[in-house]
Amino acid sequence: MNSGPLSGLIVADFSRVLAGPYASMLLGDLGAEVIKVERPGLGDDTRSWGPPYGPDGMATYFAGINRNKRSVKLDLGNFDDLALAVELANRSDVLLENFKAGTMDRLGLGYPTLHARNPRLIFASITGFGSGAGKDLPGYDLMVQAVGGLMSITGPSAEEPTKVGVALVDVITGLHAVVGILAALAERDKSGQGQLVEVSLLKSVLSALVNQAAGYVGAGAVPRAMGNAHPSISPYEVYSTADRPMALAVGNDVQFRACCSAIGLPGLADDGRFLTNPDRVRNRVELKVLLEGELRTRTAGEWFDLLSAVGVPCGPINDLEGAFDLAAKLGLEPIVDLVSSTGGVTRQVANPIGLSQTPATYRRPAPALGEDQDEIVAWLRAGRSA
């Protein structure tokens, strides 16, 4: 029996790749019963996105976003399988899909049709560019990072637009989908009615650009890539030390004064060029030269200890091994071990949401393709005959 704040909810997950599966995994972590619908033969595309592979031979890309789910194979072009898909929607609280806009309607699985059969159903649709004029554009993360402006502000300069090192737009869109689903569930508790939840990659990335997007919308300022520098704060970028780069994130005048004192340059805080944050932004280049002259005298680890002790935000540039080591050292328990039905153990990134009464649970690792086929099909057929 599942536990968690969403226990008792059934999620029909017709999504694949990243945005949708990430969203449904979070719902599963919070207790929902997630039934992942996959194509016979290949299943979700990310099953073949490797290396790397885990000890069970499964692509870690797929395994990392599909725990707490059961898998059933349904060919939506087959009449009998499509009827089972309709029955699954009839018996679900939430349906999540990220097909090309219009696909579910053509299959007879669109929101109007399913809502008429199951008025309590929350139908969450993830698209690349909406269901209107952009419905025929394919929604790939790299493409949206490009056309959505993210690459234009990422990288060493405006001449070298650079993608983020992970499919961040997909992740952000998945999070927005979860927020929309939870809001729709809260409304259903009051009205008894489900509704359509729509999120798109393009709108999600525009929202996620926050201050950069606000600067354009509110003041007409079109930002450009600045490497690791910040357009509105200084010192707030990456600096050289005696052994490796370090991030220094000084957010106010008090922190700046503490920083200057700790590194042995107390007079900088009273220098007219650097008195206030706007002064420091205007004179960023000169300030960086002066700071790095002292920062190169100690290692990044030494500066991390020294500056952190006086409340100055900073840190060495870790690789993932260093990042997980830090999280473990701080007691955040960033990794969980999941045991499969065969007794094998896989390691995964822990859910980041802390709930004091109903914490996330890790009931099963990502399923093999069609692992729960017989059980789920029997359950659906029993519902159709009832």
Active-site option among 44, 93, 141, 170: 170
**What sign results for the dihedral spanned by CA atoms 150, 153, 158, 164?**
negative
Structure tokens at 241: 């030390």
Task: Read off the tokens for 254.
Answer: 């008090």
Let me know if 93 is a catalytic residue. Answer: no
Q: How far apart are CA 235 and CA 252, in angstroms?
A: 10
Q: For residue 358, what are its two tokens?
A: 């109903």
Q: What is the end-to-end Cα distance of the chain in Å, rounded? A: 24
Structure tokens at 63: 């395994």
One-letter amino acid of 293: G
Which tokens go with 191? 């009205």
- My answer on whether omega of the bond before 51 falls inside 30° of 0, hence cis, is yes
Residue type, 151: M
Between CA 260 and CA 205 the distance in angstroms is 36
Using CA atoms, how far apart are residues 162 and 157, in angstroms rounded to an integer?
9
Output phi, psi for 244, to 5 deg: -160, 165
22 CB burial (10 A radius; 0-12, 13-18, 19+)? buried
Give the largest CA-CA distance in the chain.
Answer: 82
- Catalytic residue numbers read 170
